[in-house]
Amino acid sequence: MKFRLAAFADEASQNIDEQIKAMKDNGIELLEIRGVDGTNIADITLSKAKEVRSRLDDAGLSVWSLGSPFGKISLSDDFEKHLDSFKHGVELCNELGTKHIRLFSFYGAEGRFDDVAERLSKFTKAAKGSGIVLCHENEKGIYGDIASRCLEIQKTFPEIKAIFDPANFIQSGQDTLEAWKLLSPYVEYMHIKDALPDGSVVPAGKGSGNLPYLLNQYTGDVLTIEPHLTVFKGLDDLEKDEKSQVGKYSYPDPFTAFKAAADALKSLL
């Protein structure tokens, strides 16, 4: 099967024009948009979104998903303000021409599924009728960090699809094959990121994520490359208390790391 490749190109550069160059140089047609010219995607204006879409259109590229931070807050944080940001995110999707929003299931939420579900239901209500698919990513430290809790979310909210991130499962102590067995019916797309048992991030196929098996089982058509092979500008702002470790695969600059991640996936495919 021929996959369509997407990427978090802000790992190559915060500058949108340099992101476009990195994508073109590596044969990647889709952007999972997360950082634009030093600003988190949730915080850009609608006029900036129009400008970004025009640049991508000119380059023959498009946005696959809004790589948002929605749900990446604590249950104790101001949710109504966060919900307003989510509603702005829905508007951004329309301007950017994407039908997917990545989201999370909150920090400080262990044993508090009712509180998580209440907030997720407000997300789904705000997106209802928009045609936008909400996609929950398994992330270390949030409620849906291991497969059983991800499954609880999927069964409670059939309108929310799953993003399967192998490295995040490893960093949460979750075997990826067990996770796939539980979650594969709900997976909308995959993040291509691998890790060793100690949590250090490595190129796809070099870690414990069982990437060759997962790619053979995956029936979707889009794969998002998320390198994390060097600590790029903004990583500390994207993660909370638990930071990604950078392993022996480190690179002199973000463009080199981005290319290494893309090449590793292409080699597996």
List the structure tokens of 88. 């702005």
Q: Over the stretch 108-133, which tens digit does the pLDDT of each residue have?
A: 999 999 999 999 999 999 999 999 99
Report pLDDT for 243.
46
Task: Using alpha carbons, list the distances in angstroms from residue 48 to 2, 25, 131, 136, 143.
Answer: 33, 24, 22, 26, 33
CATH number at residue 57: 3.20.20.150
Report d(CA 234, CA 38) in Å as an integer: 8
CB atoms within 10 A of CB 82: 19
Predicted confidence band of residue 153 (pLDDT cuts 50, 70, 90): very high
Domain membership of residue 47 as a residue range: 4-268
Predicted confidence band of residue 259 (pLDDT cuts 50, 70, 90): very high
Residue 75's identity, in one-letter code, is L
Cβ within 8 Å of residue 229, ≥6 positions away: 201, 202, 203, 246, 249, 250, 251, 257, 260, 261
Report d(CA 200, CA 207) in Å as an integer: 9
Q: Which residue has the higher pLDDT, 2 or 225?
A: 225
Report d(CA 200, CA 173) in Å as an integer: 13
Lowest mean pLDDT among 1-10, 63-72, 117-126, 249-258: 249-258
Q: Supply the mean pLDDT for the chain.
A: 94
Q: Please tell me the total count of domains within the chain.
A: 1
Cβ within 8 Å of residue 225, ≥6 positions away: 5, 6, 7, 8, 28, 192, 258, 261, 262, 265
